[in-house]
Structure 1
Amino acid sequence: MDQRPRLADVAARAGVSTASVSLVLRGEPGPSAETRERVLAAAAELDYRPDRTASLLARRRRHLLGVLLDVRNPFHAELVEELHVEADKAGYEVVLSTLTRGRDEDRAIETLLDFRCEALILLGPDASEEALDRLAAQVPCVVIGRTVGAAQVDVVRPADDIGVDAALLHLIGLGHREIAFVDGGQGAVAAIRRRGYRRAMRRAGLLPLIVAGDHTEEGGVLAGRRLLAGPALPTAVVASNDRLAVGLMDAFVRAGVDVPGRVSIVGYDDSSLARLAHIDLTSVNQDAPAQARNAVLAAVSRLDKGRTVRFEAVLVPHLVVRGSTAPPVSS
């Protein structure tokens, strides 16, 4: 049986009405300073904690934002932390539903719909534009991290072409000409970065070299082994995300290939992995706080203000240079 103190218990201890207790605990105007002091003292004495579930159910609206993320992606973890901050400012709670090896996007999104979330924020989804359009017909949706054509979803994304350009300009400026790209696989985000690499290499008059990968550390290890088995190593490699870059670095270190002495490596996301001292990865920063701020703004403006016009925010990424890049040995 639940023996937790109730709002009525705090009211009885403080000698005020439950309405006054509710106003004090929500920080709203009305009760006197003396009443506030008595209520807060009573709540502390009783170790009272509000029942979030009951509070949400008592409202006509649930004020829940559902977030789809890949639990294996450290950049998604950073985005979720920022989303919590922004949602709390807006008076919303966040419900998380994760992708795992055995749990795909459809199932994860279904979970969020089962929780009756008022809007969904999808981090780097691979769903087709048609599927996103169908979902947006049920509930307001914000997509973070990729372009979306005509689907009626709001979009917050980095200008990935500028991010990849920044990585290549840095390497070319150091003197590199043989620059490979480790691909992220079949997803929409990977495709955008792959196109950006090809375009930037053509513009620089350099020959593209794309190695298959899958946005995981294991994919980076396999890509590194493929490069090591080739006729000659490139002098630099750009990876489609930081996880690939870390796997690539691991393969090279195990083979005795110095980074950055023999091969320079650039990642994408500037995740917590990149900032570790023993990894020290040059990487493209996407500004997670700004992405989260814009995503919550997009969702809340539909829910609270009835906005119907499609919203898209394109943020300019920047390169953070660390110890994984250096001029090529021959320069």
Structure 2
Amino acid sequence: MTEQQRRPTLMDVAEAAGVSRALVSIVMRGAPGAAESTRKKVLETARELGYRPDSRARLLRSARTRLLGLSFFTSEPFHAEIVDAAYAGAAERGYEIALSAVASGRPETRAAEALLDMGCEALILISPTLGSQELSGFARRAPVVSLLRDDVGDQVDSVSSDNHAGIRLAVEHLAALGHRRIVHVDGGAAVSADQRRDAFRTEMLRRGLEPFVVPGGLTEEDGLRACASLRDNPPSAVIAFNDRSALGVIEGLRTAGLRVPADVSVVGYDDSQFARLSYVQLTSVSQDAPLLATAAVDRAVERLAGADAPAHLVRTPHLVIRNTTGPARPS
């Protein structure tokens, strides 16, 4: 590293300002003990030199890191929206977020371990796929909040969205538009897939309608593949497991010469950025990522502040109606 590349230090600021290193430290920490004129001079010198406090050193000197660890799946765009909101929620509570990705070749256990290795005081795991015993093991080392999944045992906090209420909103919307042959393209083995599949069957039967379920998954390819099995006898409406799957369904329908929503209406789930694209405008069940993220951060902070027992918070989703749903075609 050259002299020009070297990071300015407290001593550099002290020498340039003509004061002691201890006085510069007082100013940088915002502690009392420095005259206002001296404080202004030190801060101006620090700006000119490009000095920034070393947060890592500060954390090492502190008994608290004030770090919340957040694991997410790189394959899930909706998780990115939660991450964005979590940063804002953590900042409001005086915490920072450390990220660890679950990706190909990097399992969820490694992602969580890495966060603990960084000194995170609590973990927020988005859609964890770990078993209850594994989650409890992490919870014995630090508070753990499961986000988007609630069946995590009694040692782990959870913040989730009411999947039954979300599916009910979708079915109600389509039924009110006159749709009777409604298909659910499910999420396969994904977190929450069972709950949404069961809710679909319940809500359809409650209205005297036959619940058609087609195996699907998390991606556009899964939706496209599921749609291929519907071409011979297309439904009047489809409720997909998530927005990505819904996009695959829409592409499959258009490839088959069917119009959305004139021939088939489509509802997604998550109200992700994909749903809001101007050329998509997908009707979707919104889980409200900012509210979920903030609730998860709040719960983690509450546990760190001394809340004894884990809590399970369930938020109610809402339906955002856009251009991919419309009245059913007359029989």
Q: TM-score under structure 1 normalisation?
A: 0.93
Shift of 1:121: 0.3
- Opposite residue 325 of structure 1, the aligned amino acid is T
How far apart are the structure 2 equivalents of 1:29 and 1:311?
41
Name structure 1 gaps, 5 residues minimum. Answer: none
Deviation at 1:141, TM superposition (A): 0.2
Contact kept, 8 Å, 2:154 with 2:310, in 1: the verdict is no
Give the distance between the partners of 1:20 and 1:254, measured in 2 at CA: 71
Deviations 1:126-163 (A, max 9, x none): 22222222221122100111212533111111111111
Greater displacement, 23-32 / 45-54: 23-32
Find the partner of 1:78 among 65, 76, 81.
81
Give how far 1:302 is off. 1.8
Q: Is the contact between residue 183 and residue 213 of structure 1 (CA under 8 Å) also seen in structure 2?
A: yes
Matched residue, 1:8: 11
Q: Contact conserved, 2:100 with 2:115, CA < 8 A, in 1? A: yes
Moved more, 92-101 or 21-30: 21-30
Cα displacement (A) at 1:275: 0.2
Cα deviation code 1:65-98 (max 9, x no counterpart): 1111111211100000011111122222222121
Per the alignment, residue 174 of structure 1 pairs with 177
- The residue correspondences of 1:92-241 to structure 2 (distance < 5 A) are 92-148=95-151, 150-228=153-231, 231-241=232-242
Identity %: 47
* CA 18–242 in structure 1, closer or farther in 2 if over 3 Å, else same: farther
**Equivalent residue letter for 1:264:** S
Contact 1:64/1:119, CA 8 A, preserved across alignment: yes
Contact residue 130 and residue 151 of structure 1 kept, 8 A: no
Query: Alpha carbons of 1:185 and 1:5: their partners in 2 closer, same or farther (altered >3 Å)?
Result: same
Matches within 5 A, 1:248-327: 248-303=249-304, 305-327=305-327
Distance 1:23 1:181, change over 3 A: farther
Q: For the Cα contact (< 8 Å) 2:152–2:158, is it kept in 1?
A: no
Amino acid at match of 2:13: V
Uncovered stretches (5+) of structure 2, i.e. residues with no partner: none
Which is worse superposed, 196-205 or 23-32?
Answer: 23-32
CA RMSD of superposed structures (Å): 1.9
**1:328–1:137 distance in 2 versus 1, CA, 3 Å:** same
Give the Cα–Cα distance (whole angstroms) in 2 for the partners of residues 83 and 29 of structure 1. Answer: 33
Partner Cα separation in structure 2 for residue 167 and residue 174 of structure 1: 11
Change (3 A) 1:54 1:147: same
- SS of 1:188's partner is coil
Whether the 8 Å contact between 2:190 and 2:218 is mirrored in structure 1 is no
Cα distance in structure 2, aligned partners of 1:22 and 1:310: 40
Contact 1:224 1:252 in 2 (8 A): yes
Note if contact 1:62-1:117 (Cα within 8 Å) is conserved in structure 2: yes
Residues 50 and 149 from structure 1, CA distance in 2 versus in 1: closer, same or farther, beyond 3 angstroms? closer
Distance 2:29 2:330 in 1: 66
Distance in 1 (CA, whole Å) between partners of 2:235 and 2:52 is: 59
Q: Within 2, Cα distance between the matches of 1:107 and 1:125?
A: 12
Q: Deviations over 1:284-312 (max 9, x none)?
A: 11111111111111111222x22212222
Deviations 1:32-86 (A, max 9, x none): 5433322221111001122222222221222221111111211100000011111
Point out 4+ residue stretches in structure 1 off by more than 3 angstroms.
14-33
TM-score, normalising length: structure 2: 0.93
Name the CA shift for 1:180/1:3 in 2 (closer, same or farther; >3 Å).
same
Q: Which amino acid aligns with 1:318?
A: H
How many Å apart are 1:111 and its aligned residue? Answer: 2.2
Structure 1 residue 220: Cα displacement: 1.0
Amino acid at match of 1:79: I
Contact 1:132 1:151 in 2 (8 A): no
Task: Say which is worse superposed, 163-172 or 95-104, in terms of deviation.
Answer: 95-104
The residue number in structure 2 matching 1:328 is: 328
Q: Using the TM superposition, give the Cα deviation of residue 245 of structure 1 relative to its aligned residue in structure 2, in angstroms.
A: 0.7
